[in-house]
Structure 1
């Protein structure tokens, strides 16, 4: 194995996609209201609301099915004040054609020399949450182990920490989630034999090794939520979140210190059995071909149904892309095992 010494500042972007179709339907504005197994991702402090075993799975597809995005999680209470959870995420593109050996040493094309490989990113989250002695205040912590694989060409390991807080006062809920709080480092190693094939594939191209160290900078999400009782059978949950990156981006609010993208989500439920969701988020300033700037907004929509501890959710979203990108269908299932005792 060989490695390079340069450093890049952005990595692990697959961890910014999100999980749970219910959250996607609300444009991911859930950091304050999240209170189930999916809090492992959104805000681990919400895990203290779990009263029994809970499990969740999700599947989504990127770029018309080229990339697969999968998630599975499990959480349980330890006692009346604390809970733990574990979740795994995979984002991958499979069956990629490896044509580095398509042409042999004599210049002949041999299609039998084509092989297939996968490029996949994995993340394992281990979560702990606790209710503090201050009424309504919960805290949580995530430990992340990251594994990224590009066929036989390159692999990396990464490690990071997330921290979350939730506070409930009267009819309002407040939430704060800080990801990669200590910065997250990924260290890559490259297979020298495989990399030599890439170097030889195109003359005077790919002559230098990619960066071997990636640093994921901290990000924060802060939100406030409130649930309204519309009538005896109908309730409305609303939440406003601010997604912050501590660097300059194309977000609607942007500076050298911090960039902010607001998100607004709504969930209307009928007797806590049927759900209708909508939201707007990913508000960006897009540079046009004529050098002008336009504001783009990503709308999301979702529905859900719960019966005897099984909740099925669907969201129509393009998972973080705006503009001409095709919309994606996201499905998730959550199971509360208390109903099966």
Structure 2
């Protein structure tokens, strides 16, 4: 409980200090879904072809042949925050498919101590209540093969709902679009996220705000701005498949994650920054999978103002049997304090196996 209380103390003032049109919004949507993809450091824009393509590149939905479902769970910050994903997709015909998914990232049972001290200055622990801070994303995807051979196109509409107890809520809306192309074991993918910018509008409960606005003298005296946007991002992927002997297959992919702002990415300018990611998947007859990936190349400023380059390695395994695929990834995208790594599990069901 003490960790949840500390997290509330840290994060809520950050929210109150929000400014209109912030550069960083809806960051929970950058975590990713599917342990198989995260084990490859998210290098799947060109190769994703199942129900999880709703998130990575909706064009890949054309690759499904029957009903598919997916579930994922991960815990972050030493188990304080839970991240869950559920998705369903199905083909409409031989040339098109649709899918829906839900993402939730939340911290539950946070201590609300704004009423701990009554009007007479007495501490009353019975006045403590619990609340949740949760982010939701509802995704609706459509994909279709284009006139040109081996070209697929997909679009994803997302509705974002964010809730911070009784203090504030917001609604947001955005669009993603993706393309995939395949030729001679080479695969290419392009994913444009938030192409219209994703707009979030916050509603703040003034009564609840007034309870905490004087918590820090001279700070948080006025209501914060209530509008923010998520800037567009671009992902480009190139992949190639290799056959190794009779039973083994190797899939390799390199992705470039492009943001149109200057950051600490390994390649950065005033116009755009680029963060590369590499992913490898070795499988035995599509039954057992071994995955490796490296990404998140960032320059870190040390105490002496020198620069050092940090990277994020990832590892994953998977098993596919009778239409049920179970995947596991070990990644440190949620590292904090002593929690150096995050364990991620997902399961994907393909109903086409049961029709055979």
Question: Does residue 1:38 correspond to 2:57, yes or no?
Answer: no
In structure 2, what is the Cα distance between the partners aligned to 1:266 and 1:175? 16
Instruction: Tell me which of 220, 225, 236 is aligned to 1:222.
Output: 236
- 1:53 aligns with 67
Q: 1:267 to 1:322 in 2, by over 3 A?
A: farther
Question: Does residue 1:249 correspond to 2:277, yes or no?
Answer: no
Structure 1 segment 165-176 matched on structure 2, within 5 A: 165-176=179-190
- Size of the aligned set, in residue pairs, is 338
Question: Does residue 1:76 correspond to 2:76, yes or no?
Answer: no
Task: Give ranges in structure 2 of 5+ residues lacking alignment.
Answer: 1-17
Structure 1 segment 204-283 matched on structure 2, within 5 A: 204-283=218-297
SS of 2:213 mapped into structure 1: helix
Q: 1:285 to 1:8 in 2, by over 3 A?
A: same
Question: Aligned-pair distance for 1:323?
Answer: 9.9
Question: Aligned-pair distance for 1:338?
Answer: 1.3
In structure 1, what is the Cα distance between the partners aligned to 2:319 and 2:332? 22
Question: Aligned-pair distance for 1:202?
Answer: 3.8
Asked whether the equivalents of residues 310 and 334 of structure 1 are also in contact (C-alpha less than 8 Å), the reply is yes
| RMSD over aligned Cα atoms | 1.4
- 1:97 aligns with 111
Structure 1 segment 105-144 matched on structure 2, within 5 A: 105-144=119-158
Question: Aligned-pair distance for 1:210?
Answer: 2.3
Instruction: Tell me which of 160, 168, 171 is aligned to 1:154.
Output: 168
Q: TM-score, normalised by structure 2?
A: 0.93
Asked whether the equivalents of residues 297 and 312 of structure 2 are also in contact (C-alpha less than 8 Å), the reply is yes
Question: Aligned-pair distance for 1:49?
Answer: 0.5
In structure 2, what is the Cα distance between the partners aligned to 1:324 and 1:225? 35
- 2:11 aligns with none
In structure 2, what is the Cα distance between the partners aligned to 1:243 and 1:124? 23
Asked whether the equivalents of residues 176 and 194 of structure 2 are also in contact (C-alpha less than 8 Å), the reply is yes
Question: Does residue 1:86 correspond to 2:100, yes or no?
Answer: yes
In structure 2, what is the Cα distance between the partners aligned to 1:20 and 1:36? 11
Q: TM-score, normalised by structure 1?
A: 0.97
Structure 1 runs of 4+ off > 4 angstroms? Answer: 320-325
